[in-house]
Amino acid sequence: MQIHPTAVVHPKAELGPDVEVGPYCVIGEHVRIGRSTRLVSHVVVDGWTEIGERCTVWPFASIGTPPQHLHYKGEPTRVVIGHDNVLREYVTVNRATVEGGGLTKLGNMNFLMAYSHIAHDCLLGSHIIMANSANLAGHIIIGDHAVIGGLAGIHQYVRIGDYAMVGGCAAVAQDVPPFTRANGDRARLYGLNSIGLRRHGFSAERIRGLKRAYQILFRSGLRLAEAVKQVKEEFKDQQDVMALVAFLDGSKRGACRSAGKDEENEE
């Protein structure tokens, strides 16, 4: 374990083997940091925060500070960050609220670029990329392998599905289904995230099934309930499509609408 002489580490903080704490970092009383994690410099980790193994946190990041919530009164809510995450300069991750369940959570192998913000009670999966200055409001859920473009803003309680892609500067007020692309103000769907799916090893057959389901759900002109019923009957043996339908069934804010075939320019 290496702790720079200028760092301030509370004596009750728990630091695992081979942790590196760089110059001018500040680590609070209730913090736990896992093996081989590196805080480069000027990092603040406060509150009831747990950071996993082999993470790298770059200068001026702030993790576990109180939520930006008027009703928060200092309750011992948490931030839990998994393994192998990279948090670049000025990233902020706020701890949760009691009302929201008490937990802000990031999975494993996420890459948060400079100035991105994770608000209270957000639950993020693994292998997520958030580009510079992407911003999450409170209570947001993001699935595995999602990509959030730079300067995007996501509304409270919105869900972003697995393998979805949100374009830069998007304003997202409704759920973005898995496997799709969304962009604009207010964000609309622009077909499947086909390039991303191919990069993640999806076969041509799997992508064809998802494209056909997307056509029925978002371009057929059917009411969503009717389209979902048709898709369930036609694709009941296709796991990807059933995951897409389950996401729509669980939506409370409703899903983003399609931009229309002529605008989508789908790959």
Q: Which of 46, 84, 121, 162 is catalytic?
A: 121
Q: Which of 30, 42, 69, 120 is catalytic?
A: 120
CA triple 21-118-22, angle to 5 deg: 10
Cα dihedral sign for 238, 243, 245, 246? positive
How far is it, in rounded angstroms, from Cα 62 to Cα 89? 9
Torsion angle in degrees (nearest 10) through CA of 82, 85, 88, 92: -20
The question of whether 144 is a catalytic residue gets the answer no
Q: Which of 138, 153, 167, 196 is catalytic?
A: 138
The question of whether 240 is a catalytic residue gets the answer no
Chain centroid to CA 90: how far? 17
Residue type, 190: Y
Torsion angle in degrees (nearest 10) through CA of 166, 168, 111, 117: -100
Closest CA to 192 of 184, 151, 202, 155: 202
Whose tokens are 């998994």? That residue is 82
Whose tokens are 């948060």? That residue is 112
Length of the chain: 267
The question of whether 120 is a catalytic residue gets the answer yes
Question: Are the CB atoms for 72 and 97 separated by under 8 Å?
Answer: yes
> What φ, ψ does residue 233 adopt, rounded to 5°?
-75, -40
How far is it, in rounded angstroms, from Cα 185 to Cα 187? 5
Active site residues: 120-121, 138
